[in-house]
Structure 1
Amino acid sequence: MLHLRSGNLKIYNNHVLHLNQEDHEMLMSLQVSFNVIISEFFREGKGGIIINGEPVGTRCAALEVEAMLCQAQEDFAQSEEKDMQGDLEHMYVADDFGQRQQFERMSNKSYRKKPIDLNDWAVKERLRNFEKCGLNIVKLEKIENYALQQLFKLNSKRIQAPPQRVYQCVKAQFCDLICRVGFQREYAPPNEQKYGAGIYFTTEVDKAKSLWTDNEEEYIYFIEAQVLTGKETHGSSEMIVPPPVGKDPLVRYDSVTNGRGIHIIFNGQQAYPEFLITCSKQANQTHF
């Protein structure tokens, strides 16, 4: 996402954290080539790159930086896919007869999004909360991802608590990535990480709208997910993992909360994205 202000251009993309040494050398080279000053930033869970200089130079440099960040984003996603496949290959579950069975090997790239009929009565009822929030459903898609689903099931056996249905509001650039590799801290940090540096969800659509407010895109994208919150405690801004339950530092809470509908997990495999919901802000474009 770009913000240009009189020769000062700011690119928001948390994958700045994954730039390698070669990328940083390229940034230094771009400064010379386009006579600009390039700096990186990361605050309150949000990062990116600032380019200062003459408008023409900043725009040219921005194209190169955007391509670099897109590649870092893709490299990160491929690394996550490799890790997920490795997890599946080394994890076993017991069937109903107590036999140990290994998960089948597969490529995680075989996920898909299945369109859902918005005219179905049950679907209308399910999405009524979006209408109450002044949003109109443009498209509803069911996410099908075998690898994410199996890893979620494994974690549900570990946590042994029913999942909660929750929401996350995301940028367009991260919709397919979440469908592909699941939820990541980099994809949808709220404006302020008051309750820990984790992955945030809300139990209500209106809470999601208020938690993720910096949306300047034409459409608003929500992910409806099942999340294993398990044993929770109140979160705080300095947390990077859940706190210990007792004196044993290895026995920790499963998640943290603000006690008012916001839940934070620190392991993306505790969540499974079920639906991608695309909304418009204009009230006169309603589908029901």
Structure 2
Amino acid sequence: MPPVFRFAPSPNGYLHLGHAFSALLNFELARPAGGRLLLRMEDIDPVRSKPEFEAAIHEDLAWLGIAWETPVRRQSEHLDVYRAATDRLARDGLLYPSFESRAEIARLVAAEQARGAWPHDPDGVPLYPGVARSLSPEAVARLRQAGAPTALRLDMVAARRRAGDLGWTEGGQGPDGQSGAVAARPEAWGDVILARKETPTSYHLSVVIDDALQGVTDVVRGRDLFWSTSVHRLLQQLLGLPQPVYRHHQLLRDTAGAKLSKSIHATSLRQLRAEGAMPADIRRLVGLA
């Protein structure tokens, strides 16, 4: 069977050079192997995802000379699939609801930090203190009836116990030079959120389900997602999903050393094209000439 690669942007802004590098790398890896390249829209955020951004993604990729298979999968059209997965995890006793707002969680973390050091996840965010795990069924029902903001969290201790030891073979390189056999450490992320009241999925959950349903064999993505693979391996084990090959690539950075991203308004491909750049120039700029 030919390998299956995918490029999966979020249509919440215009593509920049970092996106171009990842998309071109997937395309160039798939082509000589006789593989397939899929395009997926990770549009579970209904507020930030816009049709005009999705159209621009298609336009930019075609301009770069990248071809992909159709139809394009949009996560927003498959929320029932993700909901079925959370229902399964809940039946297995691996999920619990939490009801705190972000401000309330910040206060809980501050209280813990006042008593001593408090752990942070690989992205530097303080771990959730796990207060909601001890709520009684009556308290949960009362909070739900009151319309409190609800998040479904993975009970990491229970999930880790059920899944056992996990790892993956890294075909690229992690942020600290990791390659080859890597031990997964999903506990470093604490009780991650898998769904919210307003959105019945999360990045972690939807990405592993989509990769499995689409038959993705090779996941090629940036090093900023290296340790997220630990959570993905855990969910694959819990849901009985296949494990793809992982290859994490270098990140493109600006002159100040910051990762190119939409949040820092990195120069878009559209702007570079308007300034006269050609596809060959983009390849040269990202190091794939």
- With normalisation by structure 1, the TM-score equals 0.25
Q: Say which structure, 1 or 2, has more relative contact order (CA 8 Å, 6+ apart).
A: 2
Structure richer in helix, relative to its length: 2
Q: Whose strand fraction is larger, Structure 1's or Structure 2's?
A: 1
Scaled by the length of structure 2, what TM-score is found? 0.25
